[in-house]
């Protein structure tokens, strides 16, 4: 159960609109559900504020659908990441109604509209067009988790004027997500221009010494700006989840 | 100039207590100061909310003193990190008045008391006693930057009951810093127990496959909890600076 | 020859049911058999208690069949691991009668029922659904080697309650196998909850800093729990073989 | 409290030699003790069968003494590993009575004689004289944890006859610990000669491509013998602890 | 020109069977030939005793044929390595007459029979069936370069008896090539049994910590036997070429 | 706008052939153009002397065409690198007129003839035929950027005479680009023969310990020749761009 | 002999001021000189335009003095790099007259004044004060090789205004050297602001994920600016040598 | 017993100078001797043609002396490598008579003169003066094992003329050892100039990307010359031992 939903239930009880016994039913459900292949954590949203996401690679469409079903049965939204188009189609064939966002490789089962829960906006900036899929994943997830999001692409540090032109937009954000592959210098430069937390996402774009995102990762970890923290390579989802929690503070 | 100090000046002008021309003097100073060896960023506190810290290794005591002087001349606190006791003594001989915190290896020149600027408390948890110097650096810096801090040591994941006993304390915090060396599993477990941002600090404690903190770093980056971001190995200062900015939101 | 079979022969001689000369025939066979492509170790079961397994990748179906035939001719079970479905089909076309377990990628030629040789049960726990193929390999092999096996999936450390709910089951086992990819923290937490040996299997699931299982491997090697030892990435077979030997003690 | 001690208490109650209320006193103590610097796990022996060991590097003699005191106060033996001679001297000055084993770098506070708890013997074999300190750590710890131990040095694989001469001794052991640096081939060869579990300990001896034990570690993880599992580089303590648990089965 | 061919020419001149002017023609040819895409070293056989080999991956069939033609025009044998079957077919379509050895992935243009130039035999041993393609490459090349070759497969160190049974064969060889993937311990053990040079070839077989042959490579480089030297991963050709030069001494 | 074009405009104004207002129009355009997916840097040629290149991998044909259009609209040449044949075809279907150079994987939209802007010639040398695609990329780009280029292939260091025969050609060049995979020794040897800057390009050709170009990269970075600098693995474009800027000095 | 000196000799001959026989004496000297320990390349300056430098670490003061003597005997300047103060003192005791520059760790034996040979100025910029020793090495060497040099420190990318304030100075340079440790982003940003070659020098400053300069190295190699090439970590000498050759073009 | 000594005994028997029973005494001794700390392989010289060498680091002077004594008691020479001067002094105090070669860090106990057993000469070439200790170790060991040795220093590939001047000397050798740090290109170039086996020894000289000899190691393993094999970093002893065996063929 999402924290918000739990609060609604309790308020309904307070207002006399819901019998305590009936509310209890909702609360007394076990914190996980055993399916054919595993144990689904159906209270992560309640405990961590972020619903459990399904990392699609390595799972069959049937397994993905199984977890989605378990979550939906508990009134939770279900979000699958890194979903290839053909996998999405197969899951949607098994379980109609999902919303597939191709350029962010996300499959969403839940309300089309979400309440705004973040207090300010989240800015997602990315260095080059090759980093766009990861930036889009971050932006899309942040939006589905209840945030206002600004996305800005192609502001690599070798053409500073493009980034400097965006400074006002950056300064407006309450939290920033900076996505970059190759040399991964963007978060350091962005962080120097704002006094807000910057979540850095290294990208696996690039070749040779880029080491599949490793160079960007190291570069971000060693940033000389004190307001940068880093998530895993290509982990747009994680960056968005964390930014959402910060934006709710 | 620190943001807070700038606001005070402007409010003094508003209240008629300070002549605009006099205030101007303060504001018109250039954003950096050239010293014998380098260009000191004296407006970082204004721009990023966190005063510039001096990373001591590789600098001579004279160079450290030089930067401290430039910052103090601009009414900023000065904070040097990773300061060995003998270096601290030499700097303090050149520039009396600093406050040396031995177990956190910090040298602070600034007001003894700082105003509370963080809205909630920051919890610093560390896995084992060997991680304590880094955890102490984080705790001490967070306090100097205006936060209420709780420090908890020796709650490694192989003895879960010690950590579980601390859950209420963890849940009270607005931001958490989790410090761990060796296998670095602590942040993942902590993050699963709260719905707040967790900043993970890998520690260079350990041997062999610990790779000087590299194993913990990789472990933290690949955490299956969505509310974890990572800073550089042993970077207690960075974690505290970032946590402070988040705690001011 | 398997140790058990050797004992049976000797007991038959003791009981006068088998002529020594006839028994000798069985024992006098050379300890390896030269086939078209190699030298098959047909006494590994006798020497090490575990029959030689055929690692399928890089071998042609004909080569796999060749080794199976040599082992079966010596009255040994034959077990091929990492067998892709199409390879299994080709081997079974050449050599009817094998049993292919698709989700564990195992191909087994031997008795359908095996005698229970382990003294207690082996618990196989895995962190997430993506680790299931490796966990299934371990569970299936352990069973074929004569053990009672309990398999538990989706008990990752970021949702501790799922794992804690399974503590009674873990405490019942005589040996434990803990399978995890990404940050690989599961074995450390499991080992802290029991006083039995835990064999850790890192999984190649994950992306970016997971380094194809390398992060989990390092994490497990640096576990602060003293009752953990590690096998190669994805090596469900090895974990099961070792657990079987321990369970026979 | 050690498991054995707990059993004694309960048996004393059964025999009427100890009043339940008095026994309760012993059991009702909290599972950890907070000292000046950390939270000591005083029930690890009860929970995991192995008392908590103190990894000395990075701790001050005062901190080591503090943990020893906390453990001794709970009637537990205390074992510190990797203790340099001068550190041992300082701890023993603070806390008389410990037993320092120089060639194994161990400092032990506890009974001089321990009861034999292992059912068979543990064989510790090491490839060369440079691996001896790690092998000695393993042997000494195994003995203190209640096992009969055989130690055999200088049986590297480039002089097979030395190892082959020791086969009878190896076959007698119930568990084996194989310690090797450089190319780390010893555990594979040993494992092929026995049908018992072999715990491999890579050593940081060697130079160049030995990568501080990394080459041996990789070699052991990829062993083609199915009865090998690996612990961290130079981790003689861990190998002995695990071997002890197995030897008690 | 091959050294042998050069000697023949000079001897023919000595015997009066060849006019010096005619011989000069052969010698006066430039030491390389420029083709459409590169500069072919047509005197490597003369200079280094081994004809230039064509590493096929990354070259088009047309480019391979171009180099073969240039070498054949200078009366040199041409040898292409790592030739996929379809590439071999295309080259042979462009340039009839070559001899394709599928299991060693070699394409040879030259005399069907070569003179024996090595003084003794070369033994090629390999640890497992998965290493066979590399071992076959080494054996086949050594034979084409004029050596008597013995190939022995499946003598991995975890089943020592298979290797020990082959000791007489190993002791007969003048040079040995030991091929092994996974933990790569074979060359160390082999080298301890003979007093001849052993060339170690790490194989890319294996998974996880085998690091694509990197574990075997490190293991071989750190061998405690003093008579081992190592070539690149999977470099059967190089091992054979070097062994041939040694066998001619 | 390219620097050259800007100069022409200003000279036209000087000569009275262009009205200042009209010229202003050209100069007043913003330094970047926002397209559907990103922000194109249309003044890089003006600022850095080298037009922005489009790294094709990870971009759709539509995205490539979009950037080309934005650059052409600003009178700039557009150059896409690493363009697979099928991608080139799709881009050319969307945007007729480009020139695809298959063996260098380049797609060029711009004038067929470029003015010579380099003061001397650039020599591109490569070690073997497998390095040819990268060498061709470098040569082709250098030519399109206005340089006279000499390309020399197959001059690896194991056949020095081929390289020594080319010394006069190398000494004529004003800047040199040395391309090599495998051991990457070519740039060191070349640099020792000339007194001009040498730009080293490691190639991803090779296998095993070549580490996808990593061995060559390390070798080039540690060259004992003082006139060598290195670019990323396979980065023929970067080497050519840098060489062009140097050749214009 | 330095190229310049050779030209002077030839011009003296041309002007009739020097007898050809006398000039011949100078030219006929062998291109290297054998000393007690090695073969000194006394014509590197003639061949490569840069005199041979002596890398001091690993050489005894006596060996350094030996090489200096050999070079001075041939009328060449001698430059030793990475010279510790005590080593410098010992060499100067053996060989009076050298000039030791402590903060750049250089020991120079040669004319106090050098002719300006570079056509423009070289700008050396470094990110932080910890990078100063390397930047000073580069600046000092460039000056001794005949260049006008501008050195600018503390212009890290997290405080862009400091760098932007220096843009005019950067644009004036004909070649730039950018020195940075930690994340190494400076060269990318600098390169985006100029149209001249930028030589990037990664620094071993930093800790943890900085990997002793490895992170900066990777970051610089993957720079998205096309006018950057990289030299080895801390190689201020190499950057200066290369920049000097470029500045002479 | 050394092979040569065994032959002498047998020949004495043949000549009637030694009673068979007496000779038997010598042969019947066990193949290893157990000392206080380990098992010394006293027949390695007989089995492998090379006496066992004692790698000094990590052994106490007493342990070294213990092994020397065991070997000398069996009439074998004893050779300790990597012996620091103070360790040599301590060993020699315990066991008079050894010969310490300081610049090669070798301590030799055995006959002052050894018989020439190699059929030709071994050439040891090294790239720079910093590689001299390793080259000296190789040269000195080769000499003590009965070879004629030529040592040539400072022939790095960036000054080819120095190497080319030595070609006649290289061509005379029967086996070559090429020692190089930094980029490690020397063996490839040397191997291209001769038709004999070249043993490459990477050196740990250098800094930064030299990775403590790792760059040179990779470079040598990927050499495009087919007559190169590689030993561990700094392993001058191993190269000499292997070269000796080859030179005896």
Residue G117 DSSP SS3? coil
Please give the ipTM for the structure prediction: 0.89
Q: Which residues of A touch C136 (CB under 8 A)?
A: none
Nearest to H208 among G37, G58, G232 (CB): G232
What is the predicted pLDDT for the residue at H6?
A: 67
- Higher-confidence residue of A26 and D90: namely D90
Tokens of A75: 């009134």
**Of C167, C206, C180, residue with least CA distance to C127:** C180
Q: How distant, in Å, are the alpha carbons of C216, D224, G48 from that of A235?
A: 18, 36, 49
Task: For residues H192 and F179, give the distance between their C-alpha atoms in angstroms, rounded to a whole number.
Answer: 19
Which residue in chain G has the smallest CA separation from F237?
Answer: G226
What is the predicted pLDDT for the residue at B23?
A: 66
CA distance D215 to chain E (A): 5
Kindly compute the dihedral angle of the four CA atoms of residues E227, E229, E233, E238, in this order, to the nearest 10 degrees: -110
Q: How distant, in Å, are the alpha carbons of H47, H53, H79, H138 from that of H145?
A: 15, 12, 10, 11
Residue with tokens 């729990």: C225
Residue of G160, G166, G185, G226 to mutate for A, most A C-beta atoms under 10 A: G185
Whether chain D lies against chain C with 3 or more Cβ pairs closer than 8 A is: yes
CA distance B104 to chain C (A): 24
∠ Cα E30 E34 E40 (to 5°): 80
CA distance E148 to chain C (A): 20
- Sign of the alpha-carbon torsion through B153, B155, B161, B167: positive
pLDDT for residue C28 is more than 60? no
Pinpoint the alpha helices (H) of chain E: 3-14, 20-27, 44-48, 61-73, 85-94, 132-144, 160-164, 167-172, 186-191, 214-221, 236-248
Residue A177 DSSP SS3? strand
Residue with tokens 């039913």: A25
Q: Which residues of B touch C178 (CB under 8 A)?
A: none
In tens, the pLDDT along A41-82 reads 777 777 778 887 899 998 999 999 999 999 999 888 999 999
pLDDT for residue F179 is more than 80? yes
CB contact under 8 A, A202 and C208: yes
pLDDT for residue D25 is more than 70? no
Q: Which residues of E touch H246 (CB under 8 A)?
A: 197, 246, 249
Chains in contact with E, counting 3 or more C-beta pairs less than 8 Å apart as contact: C, D, F, H
Q: Which residues of D touch C3 (CB under 8 A)?
A: 195
pLDDT for residue E29 is more than 60? no
Whether chain C lies against chain A with 3 or more Cβ pairs closer than 8 A is: yes
Task: For residues A241 and A231, give the distance between their C-alpha atoms in angstroms, rounded to a whole number.
Answer: 11
User: E-strand spans in D52-180?
Assistant: 53-55, 78-81, 99-101, 106-109, 121-126, 148-153, 175-180
Which residue in chain C has the smallest CA separation from B181?
Answer: C222
CA distance E8 to chain C (A): 40
* CB contact set of E231 (below 8 Å; sequence gap of 6+): E199, E200, E201, E238, E239, E242, H221, H228, H229, H230
What is the predicted pLDDT for the residue at G29?
A: 58
CA distance H244 to chain G (A): 25
Using N-to-C axis directions, what is the helix angle for H214-221 and F214-221, rounded to 10°? Answer: 130
CB contact under 8 A, F233 and A162: no
Q: Between β-strands E228-230 and E198-202, what pairing exists: parallel, antiparallel or unpaired?
A: parallel
* DSSP letter (8 states) at residue G52: P
- Tell me the average pLDDT of chain F: 89
What is the predicted pLDDT for the residue at G31?
A: 67
In tens, the pLDDT along C105-152 reads 999 999 888 889 999 999 999 998 889 999 999 999 999 999 999 999
Radius of gyration of chain H (CA): 20
**Of A227, A247, A244, residue with least CA distance to A236:** A244
CB contact under 8 A, G128 and A160: no
Chains in contact with C, counting 3 or more C-beta pairs less than 8 Å apart as contact: A, B, D, E
CA distance C194 to chain B (A): 10
**Residue C106: is it exposed, middle or buried by C-beta count within 10 angstroms (0-12/13-18/19+)?**
buried
Q: Which residues of D touch H204 (CB under 8 A)?
A: 208
Task: For residues H101 and H105, give the distance between their C-alpha atoms in angstroms, rounded to a whole number.
Answer: 6
Sheet harboring E198-202: ordered strands across? E148-153, E121-126, E175-180, E198-202, E228-230, H228-230, H198-202, H175-180, H121-126, H148-153
Q: How many helices (H) and strands (E) does chain C have?
A: 11, 11
CA distance D191 to chain C (A): 8
Percent above pLDDT 70 for chain E: 91
Q: How distant, in Å, are the alpha carbons of C32, C51, D228, E127, E159 from that of C65?
A: 17, 16, 27, 19, 21
End-to-end CA distance of chain E: 20
Q: How many CB atoms lie within 10 A of CB C28?
A: 7
Nearest to D157 among E127, E156, E192 (CB): E192
Mean pLDDT of successive 10-residue stretches along chain G, which has 249 residues: 65 75 62 76 76 89 93 90 96 94 95 90 94 96 96 88 90 97 93 95 95 96 95 97 97
In tens, the pLDDT along A163-194 reads 988 999 999 999 999 999 998 999 999 999 99
CA distance C40 to chain A (A): 34
* CB contact set of G24 (below 8 Å; sequence gap of 6+): none
Q: How many CB atoms lie within 10 A of CB A183?
A: 32
Phi, psi of H149 (to 5 degrees): -130, 135
CB contact under 8 A, F192 and H221: no
Which residue in chain F has the smallest CA separation from G225?
Answer: F238
Task: For residues E105 and G226, give the distance between their C-alpha atoms in angstroms, rounded to a whole number.
Answer: 41
In tens, the pLDDT along A140-170 reads 999 999 999 999 998 888 888 889 889 999 9
CB contact under 8 A, F230 and G221: yes
Chains in contact with H, counting 3 or more C-beta pairs less than 8 Å apart as contact: D, E, F, G
Residue D75 DSSP SS3? coil
What is the predicted pLDDT for the residue at F26?
A: 63
* CB contact set of F21 (below 8 Å; sequence gap of 6+): none
Residues constituting chain E: 249
What is the predicted pLDDT for the residue at A78?
A: 93
Chains in contact with B, counting 3 or more C-beta pairs less than 8 Å apart as contact: A, C, D, G
Nearest to H37 among D132, D209, D210 (CB): D132
What is the predicted pLDDT for the residue at F44?
A: 74
Tokens of D33: 């003790």
CB contact under 8 A, G32 and H162: yes
Q: Return left, alpha or beta for F212; rule: phi > 0 is left, psi -120 to 50 is alpha, else beta.
A: left
- Sign of the alpha-carbon torsion through C249, D3, D8, D9: negative
CB contact under 8 A, F47 and G195: yes
Phi, psi of B2 (to 5 degrees): -75, 145
Q: Which residues of C touch B220 (CB under 8 A)?
A: 183
CB contact under 8 A, G230 and F229: yes
- Tell me the average pLDDT of chain A: 89
Within chain H, which residues score under 70 in pLDDT?
A: 1-6, 21, 23-31
pTM: 0.92
Nearest to D157 among E156, E185, E216 (CB): E185
What is the predicted pLDDT for the residue at C142?
A: 97
Task: For residues E172 and E140, give the distance between their C-alpha atoms in angstroms, rounded to a whole number.
Answer: 19
* CB contact set of B134 (below 8 Å; sequence gap of 6+): B126, B179, B201, B203, B234, B236
- Higher-confidence residue of A37 and D74: namely D74
Q: Which residues of F touch G196 (CB under 8 A)?
A: 245, 249
Task: For residues E207 and C236, give the distance between their C-alpha atoms in angstroms, rounded to a whole number.
Answer: 12
G199 strand-pairing partners: G177, G229
For the segment F50-75, the average pLDDT, to the nearest whole number, is 90
Within chain B, which residues score under 70 in pLDDT?
A: 1-7, 21-31
- Higher-confidence residue of B25 and E148: namely E148
CA distance C28 to chain A (A): 48
């Amino acid at each position: 159960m999402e924290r918000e939903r739990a609060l609604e239930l309790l308020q309904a009880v307070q207002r006399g609109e819901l019998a305590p016994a009936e509310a209890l039913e909702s609360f007394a459900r076990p914190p996980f559900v055993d399916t054919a292949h595993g144990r689904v954590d159906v209270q992560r949203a309640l405990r961590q504020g972020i619903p459990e996401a399904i990392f699609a690679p390595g799972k069959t469409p049937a397994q993905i659908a199984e977890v989605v079903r378990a979550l939906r049965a508990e009134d939770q939204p279900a979000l699958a990441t890194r979903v290839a188009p053909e996998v999405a189609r197969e899951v949607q064939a098994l379980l109609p109604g999902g919303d597939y966002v191709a350029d962010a490789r996300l499959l969403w089962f839940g309300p089309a509209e979400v309440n705004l829960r973040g207090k300010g906006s989240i800015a997602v900036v990315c260095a080059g067009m090759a980093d766009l899929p990861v930036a889009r994943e971050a932006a899309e997830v942040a939006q589905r988790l209840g945030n206002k999001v600004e996305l800005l692409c192609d502001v690599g540090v070798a053409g500073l004027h493009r980034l400097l032109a965006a400074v006002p937009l950056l300064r407006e954000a309450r939290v920033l997500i900076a996505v970059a592959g190759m040399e991964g210098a963007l978060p350091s430069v962005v962080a120097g221009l704002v006094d807000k937390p910057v979540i850095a996402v290294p990208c696996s774009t690039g070749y040779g010494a880029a080491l599949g995102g490793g160079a960007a990762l190291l570069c971000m970890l060693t940033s000389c700006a004190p307001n940068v923290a880093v998530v895993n390579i290509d982990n747009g989802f994680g960056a968005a989840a964390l930014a959402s929690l910060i934006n709710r503070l």
